[in-house]
Chain A
Amino acid sequence: MRLRRFMAVTAVLALFVAACGDDDDDGGDEGATDTEQEASGENTGRVNVLAAVEPEEAEVIQTVLDEHINADADYTAELEASGNFEEEVEIRAEGGTLDVILLPQPGAVIEHARSGRAISLEDMGFDIEELEAQFGEYLLSLGEYEGEHYGMPTNVNLKSMIWYPKQAFDEAGYEVPETWDELIALSDQIVEDGGTPWCVGFESEGSSGWPATDWMEDIMLRTAGPEVYDQWVNHEIPFNDPAVVTAGEYFGQIMFGEGYVLGGPEQTPSIAFGDAPGPMFQDPPGCWLHRQASFINAFFPEDAEAGVDYDWFPFPPIEQDGVLFAGELAVAFRDAPEIRDFLERFAGEEVQCAMGGEPGSARLSPNINVEPDCYANEILAESSEIVSEALANDTGRFDASDLMPSRVGAGSFWTGMLQYVQEGPDSLETVLDEIEASWPD
């Protein structure tokens, strides 16, 4: 009995130990103050880079980091791929144990800036004009909060791409559509020929729904134009504005078209976005068209050959043309020389070019100076050219859902679009009203 009680107390203390252990693993407040003191100069020799990438992609990035940064830098940069990135960032930001994160959501960059935890590029001694010359003004402005910039562009991907099974497509005598009407006509033609035009999948575990919001954005950019698009992003027009309703109707034209979508629209929320293009590679193709960003070819069958088994064409113009892209902004949470050096190198031409040439990488560079011939294949080179041009001329727009406050852009917009495709065309207005209501004041 005595012993048992004693053991109980010891157990409680053991828990205490465990709790402290956790605290320190995640840094705790001590860690934060330590690093603040180091800000003025001391090099900790380590840069942790937290990113929301698949393990394969992480491996590719780490290879490039090892070869082009760690080889001659006085610190070691380590990429940490996180499966539950949003959660982990939130927790570790509060705990003060982040060095650099690669944030796919500029909206979240602003949130970290507002919380006072992120460190601005100005504070780290970067020349913003110089950066603007490298990345274009628009991309840099995405991480701007109260006159200071917090996001260093490190990677982009082109969203406005429609993939198709090249060989079968050509054999069937189909032609690449150049307008929306031609796209619809092509879809009808495919249905008439007994095929299914579209492969669509919106499932993405904790982030299900984002591919559907991409569709909306691509259409919105082309029906309403970049200015209204910006107003929509900044909530200067309501989410249920007629312009958005129109975009939703165009989206519905594809999703609810008779026989357009493989498996039917109500199944799309349960099809993993990575599995979605799969049927395109069957013989005969299970579907003929797949709208997805430049990174999707990482999910294509390994033996599929670019230019033969598949190819892509830009999302056709509607009222006007546009370029939708997404990407990552690196945000620093610790002000230290090695962090600054890392950011500079990581976004710089050498590393970016090496990243493009690394087999298995589908990352495009936001750095305008990176030449197309850096890239491992024609598809990447072409899409990189399109993005670079759009960045230089300020005609492209960033993925809207990533710019909106997270509870819309990573919440109600995702789920709203899924509700729309499941419940059918009539639910559009209700869905948009609900998203509008969820917008934080």
Chain B
Amino acid sequence: MGGGRRSAAPRIRTEGSEHVVTTALETEPEAPEPVPDEDEPAPRAVRAVALAVLRLLGALVVPIAAFFGLWLTFDWMRDADVNRFVLVAVAIAVGVGGVFLLYWAMNRTVDHLPERFREGVRPYVFVGPALVILGVFLVYPVINTIVVSFGDSQGEGFVGLENYEFVFTDESMLRAIRNTFGWVVVVPAVATSIGLAFATLADRLRRGEAVAKSLIFLPMAISFVGAAVTWRLIYSFRPEGFGTNIGLLNGIKMGLGMTPTPWLQERPWNNLLLMVIMIWMQTGFAMVVLSAAIKSIPDEIIEAARIDGASEMQVFWRITVPSIAPTIAVVVTYMVINAMKVFDIVFVIGSPETNQTEVIAERMIYWFIRNHDGRSGAIAVILFVLVIPIMIWNIRRFREQEATR
């Protein structure tokens, strides 16, 4: 028990000093307080229990109150026949302001607790809701998905590893795994390289850096679905007799006197054409993040290198790249995860099976729609397992970085 208290003690100090915005003045004098009645043994156990209860309460009150508050609001909004703008205003007021008020009120309530509990409870008030939300919306679904993945098409009867067997034997699934692997390798590599090149070159521009960067960043603002629809038109193909080819690519080809190509059916290259869409969208992101990193490299280092006679290529490879390596890692991780869960592009472009452009996430939705929860669940679990190593690597790298800071 004493251990628990001791481990909480240092946290109290750091968290307390950070969170107490409203009560900073009131709490400050008691910070160095040495806790006077420490040596009575019986009350200590009672106090520990009380503290645990208070912490639990503190952690649960906000999410539960928020839930009921929102529920009531939604109930009211569903039945209310008022102006839509009023509804929106109320939704925003309750959703954002209400939550803010809840925290504020809880924080004030904690101030009224006996002094010895105050700072032991406060962190839980703030962290609790996040944990509850994580549990309800993340942990529970993950566990449920794993359970479903061992079930039959309705997600009920137990079928053992049958669904996993399907995942690793079905022709279409195997293609999906192969294609996803392609996405994970090609998209981050190409998008990061182009992004890095642009970032480096744009950095040298005397004028128009902002404009150039904005242009490349622009696709980022489009949704995957929107981008896919746009590119579907770019790749559009109509055989002879079915009207004019409106696709940009075929337009260029025909302008050069060649015959149009059914781009989206050119297996397996059509996969690359789909990846181009994601690359087009994500290059801007890579560029912006890397550009910021490049700008933070101290000029003295680069100047020193130049004075020492380094060529521009040497500066780039020996100084720029190593200096921004951590940022590159972040960008690549982000893209790997994005590529791994790509679905919208493949789905919107259409006919993944016929064109053999299946990817794992697309298969997951496919089997969900075809009423096979078991297979869908198994595919989801596979996807989840594939993401884990990247997450671990990411967290580890993050810790190392924190340690060296």
Contact = CB atoms under 8 A, between A and B. Distances in A.
Interface of A: 1-3, 5-6, 9-10, 12-17, 19-21, 24, 30, 86-87, 90, 111, 115, 196, 201, 203, 205-206, 208-209, 262-264, 267, 269-271, 275-276, 278-279, 282, 286-287, 405-407, 410-411, 415, 418-419, 422, 440
Contacts of B238: 271, 275
A205 B350 contact: yes
B10 interface: no
A275 B237 CA distance: 12
Determine the interface band of chain B, counting residues with CB < 8 A from chain A: 35 or more
B214 interface: no
B317 interface: no
Contacts of B323: none
A410 B369 CA distance: 10
A36 to B, nearest CB: 16
Contact of B67 (A1, A20, A111, A415): A20
A6 B371 contact: no
Interface string B132-157: 01000100000000000000011000
B66 A9 contact: no
Question: Which 3 interchain pairs have the tightest Cβ spacing?
Answer: A263-B239, A17-B95, A407-B370
8 contacts: A14-B96, A16-B99, A17-B66, A20-B74, A205-B350, A208-B354, A262-B241, A262-B242
Nearest to A261: B239
A24 B78 contact: yes
Nearest to A17: B95
Interface of B: 18-19, 21, 63, 66-67, 70-71, 74, 78, 91, 95-96, 99-100, 103, 126, 129-130, 133, 137, 153-154, 237-243, 262, 264-265, 347, 350-351, 353-354, 365-372
Nearest to A12: B130
A271 B66 contact: no
Nearest to B107: A6
Contacts of A20: 67, 70-71, 74
B239 A17 contact: no
Contact of A5 (B18, B78, B264, B265): B18
Given A20-B67, A90-B369, A10 B21 contact: no
A17 B369 contact: no
A298 to B, nearest CB: 18
B371 A406 contact: yes
B92 to A, nearest CB: 9
A269 B240 contact: no
Given A15-B133, A262-B242, A271-B242, A206 B370 contact: no
Residue among A9, A87, A286, A419 with max Cβ neighbours from chain B (10 Å): A9
A13 B18 contact: no
Given A203-B351, A263-B240, A415-B353, A2 B19 contact: yes
Nearest to A418: B354
